[in-house]
Structure 1
Amino acid sequence: MIFGASSTFIVANLYYSQPLLIHLSESFGVSYDRISSVPTLVQGGYAAGILLVTPLGDLVRRRQLLLLIITISMLLTVGLAATHSLIAFEVICFFIGVSSCSPQVLVPLAADLAPPNKRASAISIVLSGLLLGVMFARIMSGVVAQYITWRVVYAAACGLQLASLVALWATLPDFPPKAKKGTTYAQILTTMFRLAATEPTLIQVCLVQVGAAAMFTEFWVTLTFLLGDSPYHYGSTVIGLFGLIGVVGVCCTPIYGRAIDRLVPWHVSVAMTIGLLSTFSLYWGAAGVSLAIPVLVTLGLDVFRQSQQISLATRIFMLDDGLRSRLNACSMFSICMGQAIGSAAGSKVFLQYGWRANGALMVAFCLFQLFVLLARGPHTKRYTWFGYEGGLNWRRQQPAPVQDAENGVSSAGTEKEKEEAGDDQTRAPSLEGDVREKDEESEDDKGPLSESQTRVPSPTQDVDEEEKGDTREHTTLG
């Protein structure tokens, strides 16, 4: 719960400015077109933070990393509340985006702590905090700016980040680094780039995330212009309250997680993408005609996008346990790219051509996502780029628990989970060779075995079982 709440208050930094564009335009004396660059700068900074900061979650202790970047973000927010220069405001917005990446350190941490058959549920809790942060930012900034001033929004944001900092300082354990000793920052980045070029599942997920994030951000950035202009003429309070509709998506998050734990994630991704396509087709047809349409689109977007994102995250976290921060960084960087594209393209298309052209662009983003998903089926082997080998089975079989002779029942192995998930049937060892080196060291410690002792252990047996098996064999021989 603390992970989710902290994610809410920190990711809100990325979205406070969106309902404030009209107020910022008036305060700094610039046009809508000029001030629309602010959300783009924030998202660009977030992308830089995802690329350069979050991979450190595999290299350094995550407690210290989280506390440091939250402190930096909090101090920068003070500058936003105080500055009277648009250029300074834009520069600070960029660096706040860089330092607001701490939720993306928490997501793989939640996946590490959860057992394989509960991983989607754990991820969904943190991601629900992210969605709640989007809604909270829009509601709070819209209402406060309407009745007080936009500067109070950022002053309050500073206080909320301080509360998150204190809560994490008091409760977050000191997790050790995941990378082997001697691994450098350059090697971490190199591994991440190699993953982004060689893992078909990761590349497929990243391309879908680009289209989905562009569509999501485009809708929310241009919603201010849609509702503030003819025929609606609403103020920032009403525009901000549209975020309340997303509460439905947050309430459904536990259902999403439990469902995805039982289904092949690819099928969930496809179904939710079709739902998004239907939603934005509705926007394309009548967003500027009836207020009911923006309401329905907001509801559909929050519900379908949340479930889609959980299913995509579940897929990539199955690839390699030791690389989750880097895998998540690749996925989230693609989201940031999509958000920057959506902010820039959506603003320009809406301001120049209107809401209908804006709807057509969002439909195009949905079609792109669907095309990428359908190019590679649910049970395709890990390093196969296209095709539908393995069929279309939609239900994921839960791996049977393994009986440990000493400790009782242990959770099922990750390898079985990968086989049932489809895309990740063949697991390669860690790119850094951690697994291979550990196995070699273990064999050296045991020493050579005689022919009577040599046996092939079951893939699901742990080290304790092997040692007990060897003891039983000695007893039999005696």
Structure 2
Amino acid sequence: MRVNEAQDGVPARPCPENPGSTPSPSDNHEKDGKASKLWYHIRSSRVYGFLSWTPPRCRWDPERPSEFSMGLNVLFAFAGCFTVANLYYSHPILNILADEFGVKYEKVSQIPTLSQAGYAAGLLLLCPLGDLFKRRPFVLLLVLFTATSWIGLCVTKSFAAFSAISFITGFTTVTPQLMLPLVGDLAPPHRRAAALSVVVSGMTLGILLARVLSGVLADYTSWRNNYWMACGLQYLIFFLLWLFMPDYPSTNPGGLNYFKMLWSILVMLTKFPVLIQSCILAFLTAATFTNFWTTLTFLLAGPPYNYPPLPIGLFGLIGILSMFFSPIYARLVMDKFVPWISVFVGETMVLVAVVIGTYTGQFTIAGPVIQAIVHDAGLITAAIANRSTIYSLAPKGRNRVNTAFMLATFCGQLTGTAAGNHVYASGGWIHSGSLSVGLIVGAFLFLFSRGPYESGWVGWRGGYSMKKKDKNSADGMTAEEAMHTKGVEKGKTDAVPADIEKAVDEMAMEEDGGIKEARVSLAKD
């Protein structure tokens, strides 16, 4: 089955609700049959008409493409902040939910587990579709569906229903992972790291704010008010994106085979050594993050601190300080040097933070405070640098590249939570922290196995210089331009230069499923 933006049998014409819209290029290549009838009914529906209508200032014009402005960057960060937060509202109030639904604590712990499981399924099954569909209607549909489904969490009195809806909303809460590759498309390559840092910082803020807001509101009002607030924020995000998110063409307007598209993620991992390296680093670093924040609750609740729940929840506010570091660092350093050095800086910050927090945390609260600030800043820095590198690999397949990276990150988070709890239960704070030290040492081994210009699996070929050899590139050596922005020729859907277009397979996946090497190295020995 071949998935397209449109199917045969439907005339290519602008929608009546949006007379200025441009038909999809695939509208003229549709196929007869049940699929075309289904697609015709979808296009004829009021919901589709509402989602596909685009304000005049946001419509795609190849002669005057929209610029990627700071305002749009901040909008994506705001959307990412309160969309990611959906996954974490339940964490501080599990005891309240257990009393509300009359279930044991062991059973109520299924709620965050199901949310995370749904999120993982969405990463794998929905995010790759960002390489197929136009991002604006796809993102709007997911946000609207999530917001509407969220109403069920606000009103249901059934634990089974609450659990099922938690999985469903987790499944569709993947819009930030569609926005990040879009930022990679739109931002100029030499400013990509700075643009990504703004969105990633917003997402990190969402994780911290969700825990704090949920805990505080549950202490002073009903937990359901917290969920109603989250629902309102989702609808606010929808309307802001509907009003201000520009409409960009699909990166693969000809359509891709969905199952081969999923298979291509594995193929990418065998073709791009730097993607494997980045995924391993993401796995190991994410494991230290969840290990720290999970076991920190046990440390603060026990001797010598014996903090009540509210101060423990407010402790998360300390991590907000870290979100201001990454955008500044990205602008001053990351955009001028190869991403490798920023990954090194980020991992070093994580190691220093873990060592300080682990071996002083039982004697002074300053240890965990320092670890919370420095650890989060280092993790964000390393993640942004890794993304800046891997987004240069396949301009037509950035959503699939991001899917691989995020699945590795997610698996690392699960591993860190499980292993951290087990080690803490058997050995305490120092043992769980020492586990994180070992994980970061392993990350350094993988980092130093490949140099910044190495195109193979192991080595330092290409030199040791940390300054970008091509200042206008994201990774320091891959020639590319921002997609869907100024410089696009009339009738084109992207601005990828001819040499890149020739070197990079458009990820439209031939029948044999092969992928050509997507990196064009400009490094000179």
TM-score scaled by length of structure 1: 0.81
Partner of 1:448: none
CA distance in 1, matches of 2:450, 2:101: 49
Which stretch has the larger CA shift, 131-140 or 310-319?
131-140
Instruction: Indicate the structure (1 or 2) with the bigger Cα radius of gyration.
Output: 1
Q: Deviations over 1:441-474 (max 9, x none)?
A: xxxxxxxxxxxxxxxxxx99xxxxxxxxxxxxxx
CA distance in 1, matches of 2:427, 2:98: 21
CA distance in 1, matches of 2:462, 2:318: 40
Q: CA deviation at 1:206?
A: 0.7
Match of 2:288 among 171, 190, 215: 215
Match status 1:277 vs 2:277: no
Match status 1:152 vs 2:212: no
1:33-48 alignment runs, 5 A limit? 35-48=108-121
Residue identity opposite 1:76 in structure 2 = S
Q: CA deviation at 1:292?
A: 1.6
Match of 1:307 among 367, 381, 385: 381
Match of 2:267 among 172, 176, 194: 194
Would the alpha carbon gap of residues 217 and 30 (structure 1) be closer, same or farther in structure 2, given more than 3 Å must change? Answer: farther
Match of 1:18 among 75, 78, 91: 91
Partner of 1:453: none
Would the alpha carbon gap of residues 351 and 144 (structure 1) be closer, same or farther in structure 2, given more than 3 Å must change? Answer: farther
Match status 1:418 vs 2:478: yes
CA distance in 1, matches of 2:436, 2:107: 23
Match of 1:59 among 123, 126, 132: 132
Q: CA deviation at 1:84?
A: 4.1
Partner of 2:175: 102
Partner of 2:337: 263
Q: Deviations over 1:20-78 (max 9, x none)?
A: 34444554566655544543332222221111111111101111111111122223333
Q: Is the 8 A contact 2:291 2:419 kept in 1?
A: yes
Q: Is the 8 A contact 1:28 1:85 kept in 2?
A: yes
CA distance in 1, matches of 2:95, 2:435: 23
Q: CA deviation at 1:177?
A: 1.1
Partner of 1:393: 465
Residue identity opposite 1:275 in structure 2 = M
Q: Is the 8 A contact 1:44 1:336 kept in 2?
A: no
Q: CA deviation at 1:220?
A: 2.1
RMSD of aligned alpha carbons:
2.8
More helix by share: 1
Residue identity opposite 2:265 in structure 1 = M
1:40-439 alignment runs, 5 A limit? 40-258=113-331, 259-381=333-455, 384-399=456-471, 417-418=477-478, 429-432=503-506
Would the alpha carbon gap of residues 197 and 150 (structure 1) be closer, same or farther in structure 2, given more than 3 Å must change? Answer: farther
CA distance in 1, matches of 2:197, 2:265: 24
Residue identity opposite 1:252 in structure 2 = F
Residue aligned with 2:335, SS: helix
Q: CA deviation at 1:325?
A: 1.2
Q: Is the 8 A contact 2:120 2:171 kept in 1?
A: yes
Q: Is the 8 A contact 2:190 2:474 kept in 1?
A: no
Q: CA deviation at 1:305?
A: 1.0
Alignment identity in percent?
37
Residue aligned with 2:503, SS: coil
Q: Is the 8 A contact 1:141 1:153 kept in 2?
A: yes
Residue identity opposite 1:429 in structure 2 = A
Q: Deviations over 1:321-376 (max 9, x none)?
A: 11111111111111111122223333343345432332122222222222221222
Which stretch has the larger CA shift, 359-368 or 105-114?
359-368
Uncovered stretches (5+) of structure 2, i.e. residues with no partner = 1-73, 481-498, 511-520
Q: CA deviation at 1:301?
A: 1.5
Partner of 1:469: none
Residue identity opposite 2:201 in structure 1 = S
Q: CA deviation at 1:431?
A: 3.9
Q: Is the 8 A contact 2:252 2:396 kept in 1?
A: yes
Q: Is the 8 A contact 1:20 1:236 kept in 2?
A: no
CA distance in 2, matches of 1:275, 1:240: 24
Would the alpha carbon gap of residues 357 and 95 (structure 1) be closer, same or farther in structure 2, given more than 3 Å must change? Answer: farther
Q: Is the 8 A contact 1:262 1:397 kept in 2?
A: no
Would the alpha carbon gap of residues 357 and 112 (structure 1) be closer, same or farther in structure 2, given more than 3 Å must change? Answer: same
Q: Deviations over 1:256-300 (max 9, x none)?
A: 221111111111112211221121122322323322222111111
CA distance in 1, matches of 2:328, 2:365: 29
Q: CA deviation at 1:252?
A: 1.9
Q: Is the 8 A contact 1:376 1:388 kept in 2?
A: yes
Q: How many aligned positions are there? A: 419
Q: CA deviation at 1:254?
A: 2.2
Would the alpha carbon gap of residues 23 and 373 (structure 1) be closer, same or farther in structure 2, given more than 3 Å must change? Answer: farther
Q: Is the 8 A contact 1:265 1:314 kept in 2?
A: yes
Q: Deviations over 1:161-199 (max 9, x none)?
A: 111011001111221111141322223212222112321
Q: Is the 8 A contact 1:120 1:314 kept in 2?
A: yes
